[in-house]
Amino acid sequence: RPTYKIASIPADGIGPEVVEAGITVLKCLSKFLYTFNLEFEHFNWSSNLYLKTGKYIPDGGLERLKEFDAILFGAVGAPNVPDHISLWGLRLAICQPFQQYANGGRSHVGQPWEVATEVAIFTRHAVERLIRFAFETARSRPRKFLTVVTKSNAQRNGMVLWDEVAELVAKDFSDVTYDKMLVDAMTVRMTLKPETLDTIVASNLHADILSDLAAALAGSIGIAPTSNLDPTRKNPSMFEPIHGSAFDITGKGIANPVATFWTAAEMLAWLGEEDASNTLMECVERVCEKGIKTADLGGTATTIQVTEAVCEEIERNLDVKK
């Protein structure tokens, strides 16, 4: 049976609480399924480390990460570190190290005539690679339906490239239906007619906003997962709950671990362990149906109680299968 090496980076706020919960259910799955082993190595890369050493990622850190099959990430962000430093210092420093992505220029800082720009660079190659992946993802799902989100009426350079590329790539996917939306109208459609949507592709900033909206519409930001995938599999992919470090509930033991469980399920599927992934999601759904939920979903359970309930469900599920 294969052994997967997982790098865990819990980082800040509720990150350690939910990653611990995620690792508990993953260990429980591998214990009862007997089909694979998991080896975890923990990295203390966090805002605390940054405040002590000036660095989120120690020298040679990214090279070390390359030895792993996947990365399980918590959340980064601390009240005493500006968000753009924590985000670029750790999360984006891991998930975008090899991409030409964004560029900013700031001059005359603090002066009334200060100028600040935020330039997003889209290469045809990168846009096509992403849109092709989105069409492939849509093709693998039952409804075979993709919505391409841009803001090409206002952002007439970069976003128009997205529209053009989508049209070209669509020719290779005649079995997939696709439509285009402007991001502002998309928020309305997601809110009023979510059933008309399935797979969605958008640039980083738009997707960042829409994914939080999607999570809230589904009930809570505490349930949605994120996968940062390298489809070439040359580098380990990174899996994380969509939420941030949630300072307001850190240390209270009430963080919803479901986003991290779903994240763990996506990680297992990516590693090729589809059965384990499906088992985990079925067990999480059953626990939610029983009403064992944290406060954000209207329940009274703690993080640990939800985690234990999922582990019990995993054990019961496998007993039933035997």
244 belongs to the binding site for ligand NAD (CB under 6 A): yes
249 belongs to the binding site for ligand NAD (CB under 6 A): yes
Specify the stretch interacting with ligand NAD by CB under 6 A; choose among 20-28, 62-70, 176-184, 247-255. Answer: 247-255
Residue type, 292: I
Strand-pairing partners, residue 226, are: 240
Is 26 or 95 the residue whose CB approaches ligand NAD more closely?
95
Is 132 or 206 the residue whose CB approaches ligand NAD more closely?
206
Question: Is residue 3 classed exposed, middle or buried when 0-12, 13-18 and 19+ CB atoms within 10 A define those classes?
Answer: exposed
Specify the stretch interacting with ligand NAD by CB under 6 A; choose among 60-68, 161-169, 192-200, 246-254. Answer: 246-254
The angle at the Cα of 213, spanning 227 to 207, to the nearest 5 degrees, equals 50
- The binder of ligand NAD chosen from 245, 263, 305, 307 (CB under 6 A): 245
SS3 281: helix
57 belongs to the binding site for ligand NAD (CB under 6 A): no
Place of tokens 């990295």: 43
- The binder of ligand NAD chosen from 132, 151, 243, 293 (CB under 6 A): 243
Specify the stretch interacting with ligand NAD by CB under 6 A; choose among 64-72, 75-83, 112-120, 154-162. Answer: 75-83
Rounded to a whole number of angstroms, the minimum distance from the CB of residue 93 to ligand NAD is 12
Closest CA to 2 of 53, 70, 60: 70
Closest CA to 148 of 110, 176, 120, 123: 176
CB 30 within 8 A of CB 263: no
CB 176 within 8 A of CB 138: yes
Is 90 or 149 the residue whose CB approaches ligand NAD more closely?
90
272 sits in the region (left: phi over 0; alpha: psi -120 to 50; else beta) called: left
DSSP assignment string, 82-129: -HHHHIIIIIHHHHSTT---EEEEEESTTSTT-EEEEEE---HHHHHH
Rounded to a whole number of angstroms, the minimum distance from the CB of residue 222 to ligand NAD is 3
Q: How far apart are CA 301 and CA 290, in angstroms?
A: 11
Specify the stretch interacting with ligand NAD by CB under 6 A; choose among 69-77, 93-101, 138-146, 263-271. Answer: 69-77
Rounded to a whole number of angstroms, the minimum distance from the CB of residue 198 to ligand NAD is 24
CA-CA distances (angstroms) from residue 207 to 124, 133, 171, 183, 285?
A: 19, 15, 24, 9, 25
Specify the stretch interacting with ligand NAD by CB under 6 A; choose among 82-90, 95-103, 120-128, 136-144. Answer: 82-90
265 belongs to the binding site for ligand NAD (CB under 6 A): no
- The binder of ligand NAD chosen from 7, 246, 265, 311 (CB under 6 A): 246
21 belongs to the binding site for ligand NAD (CB under 6 A): no
Q: How far apart are CA 189 and CA 183, in angstroms?
A: 10
77 belongs to the binding site for ligand NAD (CB under 6 A): yes
114 belongs to the binding site for ligand NAD (CB under 6 A): no
Rounded to a whole number of angstroms, the minimum distance from the CB of residue 240 to ligand NAD is 6
Rounded to a whole number of angstroms, the minimum distance from the CB of residue 119 to ligand NAD is 21
Applying CB under 6 A, the residues found at the interface with ligand NAD are 14, 18, 75-77, 83, 86-87, 91, 221-222, 240, 243-249, 255-256, 259, 294, 296
